Amino acid sequence: MDDVSEARTKQCSNPECRVAQDDRCIEGFTELESCSHYGKALVIIETAAPEATRPMRPGIRLPGAEALSAAAAQLVIRSQPCNVIAIVGPHESGKTSLIGGIYDLLQYSMIGRYAFAGTSTPHAFERACHDSRSASKRGVPHMERTERGDATYFHLDLVRVDRDGKRAALFANRDGEAYIETHTNPDLAKGFVELRRCDTLTVLADGFKLLDDSERHQVASDVRLTLRAFEESGQTRTWQQLAIVLTKIDAVRKDKDNGERAIRDFNRIVEDVREEFARHFMDIRPFQVAASPKDGSAERGEGMADLLAYWMNEPGRYRHSQVSHSPQPSARAFGRLRPVALGGRNA
Ligand SMILES: Nc1nc2c(ncn2[C@@H]2O[C@H](COP(=O)(O)OP(=O)(O)O)[C@@H](O)[C@H]2O)c(=O)[nH]1
Ligand SMILES: [Mg+2]
């Protein structure tokens, strides 16, 4: 904290505010002194967590080993190269298993070209992957339900074998019902900052439900209506990637009666999404994964190397901003924060 305050004549107690860099108040005050946060020292909340688990910047301590708030995630984004991944899908579609599965697999081996290099959210990951580990071994799985409220962020540091340096991945997790509610009220999506902040929007299609005669049409319409709500409410960005992910591929493969039809349904969902949303995203790509297979029909983690590689692509926002604004490299991380914080559209 001292490092920060002594370096700045202008300062703000809001960790999201960049007034010292750009003279702009995050709350929108033109008279900086009118903002109640202006002039005060940066506020950092401490919780009990092992020192070694925190990503360190001089003088700044991030909150503990649980999933991060948006403000704490912001500090990670500022302190190192970082890809933000939003994972969207209805309850039970496999969001938590996917996030926990990535972490768990990395504890034992590399995933594709990526190796584990640390995390500031180990407790959150452990909880997410605990159930998916045991669910793989027992017949009736149970996963803890993601709580309602703001999105929280799981943080992973990764190294790529053929590159120097770490790169962080922040996975935004939010209760699935909140996304579904945007179908009838798209404006709700304006409150979901992870949507306009993410580099890859990841929308899940539940393979298990695609097998079911009475639910398969719902899967297709959930994907379409979700994307429509995000786009209509102005939350998507043309530099973002869109991953459409078929989860539970083991269950699909195992079902001799409906498995092939489920794959055809999924392919059609992808075609329809491409047709409707191609101009709203930089790239749209399908994936098929088994984060927590229940038997031998798929390998645990199948498909996840491709997905992780996609998530870790160089963020499109940099390519976009280089063309339109040519920012200094050091300014790029701020470029992703400012429009989000100010509620602007063209990050
Ligand atoms: N068969 C199978 N089941 C899975 C897989 N991934 C997740 N599940 C199960 O799907 C259910 C919902 O998963 P969860 O990750 O909690 O979904 P969330 O509500 O979207 O976070 C749980 O019972 C999981 O065990 C998978 O790859 N294969
Ligand atoms: Mg969940």
pLDDT digits (tens, 9 = 90+) for 175-200: 999 999 999 999 999 999 999 999 99
Those residues whose beta carbon sits under 5 angstroms from the ion ligand 2 are 95-96, 146
Q: Please state, in angstroms and rounded to a whole number, the distance separating the CA atoms of residues 295 and 216.
A: 23
Counting atoms of ligand 1 from 1, which one is nearest the CA of 251?
A: 1
Residue range(s) in the chain whose domain bears CATH number 3.40.50.300 = 77-319
Q: What is the pLDDT of residue 133?
A: 66
The 10s digit of each residue's pLDDT in 88-115 is 999 999 999 999 999 999 999 999 999 9
Reference 99, options 53, 64, 55, 146; nearest CA is 146
Tell which one of 131, 143, 144, 206 to mutate to probe ligand 1, the residue whose CB is within 8 A of the most ligand atoms: 143
Structure tokens at 127: 């909880």
Counting atoms of ligand 1 from 1, which one is nearest the CA of 128?
A: 15
The 10s digit of each residue's pLDDT in 297-339 is 899 999 999 999 999 999 998 776 554 434 444 344 434 444 3
Ligand 1 mean position, distance from CA 181 (Å): 21
With a cut of 70, say whether residue 28 has pLDDT above it: no
Structure tokens at 259: 């498995």
More confident residue, 274 or 327: 274
* Per-residue CA distances from 298 to 96, 191, 285, 288, 295 (Å): 18, 37, 21, 11, 7
Residue ranges lining ligand 1, Cβ < 6 Å = 89, 91-97, 132, 135, 141, 143, 146, 176, 247-248, 250-251, 290-294
77-319: CATH topology: Rossmann fold (3.40.50)
Across 27-31, 56-60, 71-75, 128-132, the highest mean pLDDT is recorded for: 71-75
Reference 144, options 121, 173, 120; nearest CA is 173
With a cut of 50, say whether residue 13 has pLDDT above it: yes
Q: Which residues of 56-91 are buried (b: 16+ CB within 10 A; e: fewer)?
A: eeeebbbbbbbbbbbebbbbbbbbeebbbbbbbbbe
User: For residue 35, what are the contacts with CB-CB under 8 A and spacing of at least 6?
Assistant: 12, 25, 27, 29
Ligand 1 mean position, distance from CA 93 (Å): 6
The distance of Cα 184 from the centroid of its chain, to the nearest Å, equals 23
Q: What is the pLDDT of residue 132?
A: 63
Q: Please state, in angstroms and rounded to a whole number, the distance separating the CA atoms of residues 132 and 292.
A: 6
Counting atoms of ligand 1 from 1, which one is nearest the CA of 293?
A: 28
Which residue is closest in CA terms to ligand 1's atom 5? 292
Ligand 2 mean position, distance from CA 86 (Å): 13
User: Which ligand approaches the C-alpha of residue 204 most closely?
Assistant: 1
